[in-house]
């Protein structure tokens, strides 16, 4: 799949010493509604503040690391936004730079989990992974909202359960969670595989991009799935009858990451951009536009958005945190096993 490039508008003369030496930032991020929110709500204030332009690239996150590896030593990209899986793949490939917290004024205000312990990358927003369900079907049948992760295996949903495929970030998180629920861990996945194989007969479809899952809910075939809170809220806002239920075993923290590319062509602007994305100003726009919960503890939200994203210390503390490092380290092998499982 080719890259699409959008050169955002030039926003005036340089107003800082930084902008006088670096006048362009190359940012690679999500497409779709998340990309539109970045271009319309989040990037323009940064451009105006520094008198620079942002060149915005979009591509599937799973392909992003391959490009960065090909450009190693002379990268064209400064900053990458991705999932925890693409972050882990990039770190393993050695294409992301280590961050010095002293370079970022907003680091002290972050939740402790937001800065990765290895010092490479930082989270800029979070979702709750929970159960997405078809509210129309549930109401028609007189069913209560789903209450457990194991409802996915309930025979009454047979033929109407949708599952994300590996290597989607939601699927890696779900695999790690299931291992824990079944008495294993992300490093010991056999209990999860045994349980997953029994889910295959219940599935309507195994999907890759989120748009496929959205379509199945919109057309009524999907009744139940696991999904991120932001994705569910965005689809519900279009009028599709869906809602998110947090299972009794707990929702799971699902992060979105920012990484500075090693050897970035515009290193000063790259650091300034990451710091800006972590500021209360940008975090509010990220919450309202991208439906991602803030990682800056000083952010104050109000209105309906507070119920659509993980917000506030109490809500965030309730989310399970699954360390998927062992899964991400062997993702290629796990994808092969996953594909074999669903093909049987």
Q: Domain containing 115 — which CATH number?
A: 3.40.190.10
The reported pLDDT for the residue numbered 18 is 54
The reported pLDDT for the residue numbered 60 is 66
Q: How confident is the model over 266-301, as pLDDT tens digits?
A: 999 999 999 999 999 999 999 999 999 999 999 999
317 in any annotated domain? no
Q: How confident is the model over 157-174, as pLDDT tens digits?
A: 999 999 999 988 799 999
Exposed e or buried b for every residue in 148-169, given b needs 16+ CB within 10 A?
A: ebbbbeeeebeebbbbbbbbbb
Nearest alpha-carbon partner for 128 in 4, 268, 243, 259: 243
With a cut of 50, list the residues of the chain below it in pLDDT: 1-17, 19
The Cα 147–Cα 14 span in angstroms is 54
The reported pLDDT for the residue numbered 15 is 38
Residues 132 and 17 in one domain: no
Residues 17 and 160 in one domain: no
The reported pLDDT for the residue numbered 239 is 97
Which range marks the domain in which residue 70 is found? 4-126+254-311
73 in any annotated domain? yes
Residues 132 and 168 in one domain: yes
Nearest alpha-carbon partner for 289 in 320, 256, 322, 319: 256
């Amino acid at each position: 799949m080719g890259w699409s490039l959008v050169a955002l508008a030039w926003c005036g003369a340089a107003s800082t010493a930084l902008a006088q030496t670096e006048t362009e930032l190359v940012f690679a991020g999500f497409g779709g509604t998340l990309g539109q929110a970045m271009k319309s709500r989040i990037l323009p204030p940064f451009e105006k503040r520094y008198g620079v332009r942002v060149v915005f690239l979009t591509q599937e996150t799973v392909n992003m690391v391959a490009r960065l590896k090909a450009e190693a030593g002379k990268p064209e990209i400064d900053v990458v936004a991705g999932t925890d899986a693409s972050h882990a793949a990039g770190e393993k490939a050695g294409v992301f730079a280590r961050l010095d917290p002293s370079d970022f004024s907003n680091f002290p205000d972050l939740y402790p989990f937001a800065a990765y312990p290895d010092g490479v990358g930082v989270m800029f927003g979070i979702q709750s992974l929970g159960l997405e369900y078809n509210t129309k079907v549930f109401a028609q049948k007189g069913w209560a909202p789903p209450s457990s992760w194991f409802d996915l295996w309930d025979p009454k949903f047979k033929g109407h359960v949708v599952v994300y495929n590996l290597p989607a970030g939601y699927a890696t998180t779900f695999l790690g969670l299931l291992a824990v629920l079944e008495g294993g861990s992300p490093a010991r996945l056999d209990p999860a595989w045994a349980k997953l194989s029994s889910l295959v007969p219940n599935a309507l479809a195994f999907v890759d991009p989120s748009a496929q899952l959205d379509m199945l809910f919109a057309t009524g075939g999907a009744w139940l799935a696991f999904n991120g809170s932001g994705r569910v809220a965005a689809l519900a806002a279009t009028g599709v009858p869906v809602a998110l239920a947090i299972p009794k075993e707990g929702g799971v923290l699902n992060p979105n990451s920012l990484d500075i590319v090693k050897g970035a062509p515009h290193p000063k602007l790259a650091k300034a951009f990451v710091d800006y994305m972590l500021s209360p100003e940008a975090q509010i726009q990220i919450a309202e536009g991208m439906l991602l919960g803030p990682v800056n503890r000083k952010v104050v939200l109000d209105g309906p958005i507070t119920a659509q994203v993980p917000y506030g210390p109490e809500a965030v503390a309730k989310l399970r945190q699954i360390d998927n490092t062992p899964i991400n380290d062997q993702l290629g092998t796990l994808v092969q096993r996953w594909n074999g499982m669903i093909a049987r």
